Amino acid sequence: MSNRRLSDFLSGTTSRRRFLREGGLAALFAGAANACKQEPSKAAVGSQATPPASGQTGGTMGPHDTSSGASALAAAQSMDAMHEKGIKSFPAKTAGLGNQLMTPRLENGVKVYELTAKKIQWETEPGHMVEAWAYNDQVPGPQIRVTSGERVKVILHNQLPESTSIHFHGLELPNAMDGVPFITQPPVKPGESFTYEFEVPNHGSHMYHSHHDAAKQVGLGLLGAFIVEPKQKTKDDTPDVDQVFILNDGAHGYTFNGKSFPATQPIVAKLGQKVRIRFMNEGMMIHPMHLHGIHMTVIAKDGWPVPAPWKCDTLNVAPGERWDVIVNCNNPGTWAFHCHILPHAESEHGMFGMVTALVVQA
Amino acid sequence: MSNRRLSDFLSGTTSRRRFLREGGLAALFAGAANACKQEPSKAAVGSQATPPASGQTGGTMGPHDTSSGASALAAAQSMDAMHEKGIKSFPAKTAGLGNQLMTPRLENGVKVYELTAKKIQWETEPGHMVEAWAYNDQVPGPQIRVTSGERVKVILHNQLPESTSIHFHGLELPNAMDGVPFITQPPVKPGESFTYEFEVPNHGSHMYHSHHDAAKQVGLGLLGAFIVEPKQKTKDDTPDVDQVFILNDGAHGYTFNGKSFPATQPIVAKLGQKVRIRFMNEGMMIHPMHLHGIHMTVIAKDGWPVPAPWKCDTLNVAPGERWDVIVNCNNPGTWAFHCHILPHAESEHGMFGMVTALVVQA
Amino acid sequence: MSNRRLSDFLSGTTSRRRFLREGGLAALFAGAANACKQEPSKAAVGSQATPPASGQTGGTMGPHDTSSGASALAAAQSMDAMHEKGIKSFPAKTAGLGNQLMTPRLENGVKVYELTAKKIQWETEPGHMVEAWAYNDQVPGPQIRVTSGERVKVILHNQLPESTSIHFHGLELPNAMDGVPFITQPPVKPGESFTYEFEVPNHGSHMYHSHHDAAKQVGLGLLGAFIVEPKQKTKDDTPDVDQVFILNDGAHGYTFNGKSFPATQPIVAKLGQKVRIRFMNEGMMIHPMHLHGIHMTVIAKDGWPVPAPWKCDTLNVAPGERWDVIVNCNNPGTWAFHCHILPHAESEHGMFGMVTALVVQA
């Protein structure tokens, strides 16, 4: 989620520290967390807007099927314990946080962003360290957020063992700033720097990433969000929560903003609030993103407003695409939010990879 | 197809028994069936609305190419015979039929659906038996069809060797009814039952399926259509044929409504009729569905009306998505209808998997 | 690109021969070509519409990072040299050109197209010969371009070692002309011919291809564009450049119009011109096509006008789909244009496969 907004938001209700100490979802949504306590009847009515008649809802035990007897039940208990452990640890703490809003320095009215590309170790889920090629030690790289018409300088320092470059995906820049080695610039060699400078053109949810040996370099983490706010903001430009949601599926596994479940971050909002989600796919596969409980209204494709917003609960996001949606949080609870290619989200060991939650606090 | 409607429809023209006894397509569309008899000139003009000049259409034999001589021709004959055999057997009889409209029992004005999940053997195409995990012995599970605002109870009995749960995909339910173990309820263990109860919310073409070990359980068949009719019906809600079309691609191979070609069921309509198709993808892959001969008009996405209906002949259906389309049957004949990822539909042994037909009877 | 239009276009500014002799892009766009000469500062300002302050743009060398020292730099130089070689050879000359506009012969007012299907050798990129099954020795087959309402005859001669047929994908033809063996016609055996004849129905960007053993036959090249112009042309029907862009990913690798980068053809336009691109996917995978520098406006899906044109820079094209877009060439330069599933477009050896460029000449 937009980091500046998350901290703002949480400060009014809880603290990040408490959020993590109390086991995550418990601190965010007490009702839903009951479900983790294995009390069926409470769980089933935890957050119901329309409570059913008492005793008719919730897990009511039926007679045991003799064919699925003691051994099946033991195996099921064992599997369920793994699933429960994963979900209870969500959102799990890991080292490193990507997509942090970057504050530029100002030089004569020009916003200057310095990005250093180098190899790091990155923790995608608790205890799982991978080699990443990262901008400023973050996967995704720091979030750049500017306004259309502003003058911007992006200085790339290459500390990688390969040449690299930056393509500003979606921005309609002068050709020389397009970042394609041997077509618009020479590659930026190890140890070298390169400065991109331009007036920010078309607004929308864009990206920046390597365009050299990119199948490898982007897969390893050389990517980030480049959000361009319009000069004239509309109501959709001032949501209560503004969430960047970058999908990847390369060497780091199935990730949202550089993390795999249970280390993915939930989106947190209060009942009645408006969330804007900016989906971006930096992977090699298409991911149909499914939100439970509340539909999404699609307002932009690749930064361009759609002529007529349309609704869905499953949004197909292809590599290179960006889709902006609005979620009106009118249904309280903890809503699973995952890629619906199920092997990207769940195995017999439980949920993993491309899973997070939208928590709507009553 | 909607089972209640198919039977209604066929009763006026033919019987299901006769339909199967007479070799399928032959009973449905005499003109097209001629093509199977290897009489080129008849076949080619079988159902033409605008017949070409006599003798100028149809297979006219040219001289044999010496480089593709006797052995090539023999190999081609052999391959063609396999292809012909498959197509002539369509729609092939198999044991079991999924997606049968379920009649609930009424309890104090509440529609009660009981679903028993258990292991069964399922025949996907003639002679091909697979293990399925099914609701009420059907793959897909029985079709639930209700109206927005109705009170519904779904009682799940788990006779599987694993825990399970039901997620009502697309329905905007109270959180406790959302069916995600350890987030909204405990898992329903082997031998247990669980009751979901709610007032039916947003209308549209929705689904129900397992949300526990789901990559496996949904792949094995724990899925079904959950159709919500609107309180106020429009003309698109009363088509002549209302067809649910569930795609899957897991352990059972490439299937439509649980069956592979030639055991898939054709959609049958009369010339001038309106067919509504409700595509639902419960698989792990995207399937671009191509209809020959007549275009589709897209009217809804995930149950939500699209702001402006649009036309296509190839509709990309991603996992978790539902797309509703209208087909105005203004072109008589037997029209191939298949996934256009060709390896999902044809091999050197002939058509298989994701292939069916729309039969428009003149 | 539409061959008749490319030659018209180039004749005014350069010749095809000169275009190839001078190393391709250099002849097409002098500014961008500077980038290939490894002069960072020139490259970086090569084609900027808004030049940055002198000295602040372009590759300015930073201090070498000691951890990525001499050996890393040497490896990087070696990799970059491979990348540069590939790009400098673009558009590389290969034998054979597909999608050439076919001139029919006229017989009593009927346009007659003769297509001979046979095995050939096809060069997808310099030195890489593959077996192709082709119409009239072209991959894609010759482009058929007619007007709605015209009477057309397509005579298929089968010189292949297998039976075959032609399906006119997207055309709403009489059933007998639909080209599906054993459903609408017998297969056309080796050495035989078959005549399709019809009045051209719905206009739009359509295709023709084999519908017999098609997973193999289409993958090997039995496919082509079947463009139907409307009787009443709109402004979008008379663009400055009209480009057919057929994607494939079968036995020939990742190709655009039968060629892999660097043998793909660029799209060439002058600043201010309007380009219409007709994407068609004849492969087995979905390809999200990304254009740098200028957005695309989607005007048609499968030949049907979209109700409200919408903008994007990355367009997801699924097998069997056709998408028509307009590109208003208002940004000069050489713009990379590629599938954004990066392993379809780049490896450590450089760009390959599904890569081309839009060259906008100032």
Mean predicted confidence (pLDDT) in B102-114 = 98
Confidence of residue A67 (pLDDT cuts 50, 70, 90): low
Is the pLDDT confidence value at B90 over 80? yes
| pLDDT score at B24 | 56
Confidence of residue C11 (pLDDT cuts 50, 70, 90): very low
B45: contact with C, CB 8 A cutoff = yes
- pLDDT at residue A68, as a whole number: 52
Q: According to the model, what pLDDT value does residue C287 have?
A: 98
pLDDT tens, C12-27? Answer: 333 333 333 444 565 6
Residue-wise pLDDT for C80-132, tens only, equals 999 999 999 999 999 999 999 999 999 999 999 999 999 999 999 999 999 99
pLDDT (tens digit per residue) in C219-248: 999 999 999 999 999 999 999 999 999 999
Residues of A in contact with B195 (CB under 8 A): 56-60
Q: Which of residues 143-162 of C touch B (CB under 8 A)?
A: 153, 157-162
Among all residues of chain C, which has the CA nearest to that of B26? C183
Q: Kindly state the average pLDDT of the residues C244-258.
A: 97
CB contact under 8 A, C286 and A189: no
A311-330: average pLDDT: 98
Predicted local distance difference test score (pLDDT) of residue B123: 98
What's the pLDDT score for residue A192? 97
pLDDT, tens digit (0-9, with 9 covering 90-100), for A200-242: 999 999 999 999 999 999 999 999 999 999 999 999 999 999 9
The whole-angstrom distance between C64's CA and the closest CA on chain A is 4
Mind listing the pLDDT tens digit for each residue in B170-189? 999 999 999 999 999 999 99
Q: What is the pLDDT of residue B19?
A: 38
Task: Compute CA distances C328 → A11, A198, B190, C191, whole Å.
Answer: 47, 21, 61, 47
Cβ pair B266, B330 in contact under 8 A:
no
Q: Are C294 and C330 in contact (CB under 8 A)?
A: yes
Token digits of residue B98: 């999924």
Residue A278 has pLDDT above 60, yes or no: yes
The rounded distance, in Å, linking the Cα atoms of B246 and B310 is: 21
Confidence class for position A26, pLDDT limits 50, 70, 90: low
pTM: 0.88
For the record, the structure tokens of B347 come out as: 């091999």
Contacts of B347 in chain C (CB under 8 A): 213, 215
Q: What is the pLDDT of residue C36?
A: 38
How far apart are the CA of A347 and the nearest CA of chain B, in angstroms?
6
Higher per-residue confidence, A64 vs B212: B212
Do the Cβ atoms of A307 and C308 come within 8 Å? Answer: yes
Chain A partners within 8 Å of B307 (Cβ): 308-310
Query: Lowest-pLDDT range, A179-183, C5-9, C240-244?
Result: C5-9
Q: Give me the pLDDT at residue A72, please.
A: 84
3-state DSSP assignment of residue C82: helix
pLDDT value for C1 = 34
Q: Is B172 within 8 Å of B201 (Cβ atoms)?
A: yes
Query: Which parts of A30-148 fold into alpha helices (H)?
Result: 30-33, 40-45, 70-88
Position A29 scores a pLDDT of: 63
pLDDT at B56 over 60: no
Range of weakest confidence among B222-236, B272-286, C42-56, C127-141? C42-56
Identify the band that residue C72 occupies on the pLDDT scale cut at 50, 70 and 90: confident
Say if residue A21's pLDDT is above 90: no
Give the minimum alpha-carbon distance from C349 to chain A in angstroms, rounded to a whole number: 8
pLDDT in tens, B4-38: 332 333 333 333 333 334 445 656 765 443 343 33
Q: Which of residues 61-120 of B touch C (CB under 8 A)?
A: 61-65, 67-68, 72-73, 75-77, 79-80, 83-84, 87-88
Contacts of A75 in chain B (CB under 8 A): 161-162
**Diameter over CA atoms, chain B:** 79
Are the Cβ atoms of B320 and A65 closer than 8 angstroms? no
ipTM score above 0.95: no
Question: Nearest residue on chain B to A44, judged by CA atoms?
Answer: B176
d(CA A361, CA A60): 28
pLDDT for the residue A79: 96
Give mean pLDDT, residues C126-148.
98
CA distance C203 to chain B (A): 12
A308 chain-B contacts, CB cut-off 8 A: 307-308
- pLDDT at residue B164 in the model: 98
Among the listed residues A324, A334, A327, the one whose alpha carbon sits nearest the alpha carbon of residue A355: A334
Q: Are A133 and A212 in contact (CB under 8 A)?
A: no
Angle formed at CA A27 by CA A26 and CA A29, multiple of 5 degrees: 65
Provide the 3-class DSSP secondary structure of residue B105: strand
Q: Which residues of B touch A359 (CB under 8 A)?
A: none
Q: Give residues 267 to 326 of C whose Cβ lies within 8 Å of B.
A: 284-286, 301-304, 306-308, 316, 318-322
Interchain proximity A58–B170, CB inside 8 Å: no
- Contact between A314 and B318 using a beta-carbon 8 Å cutoff: yes
Which positions in chain C touch A285 (Cβ < 8 Å)? 341
Which chain C residues are within 8 Å of B340, Cβ to Cβ? 318-321
Distance from CA of B88 to the nearest CA of C (A): 8
The pLDDT, as a whole number, for residue B150 is: 98
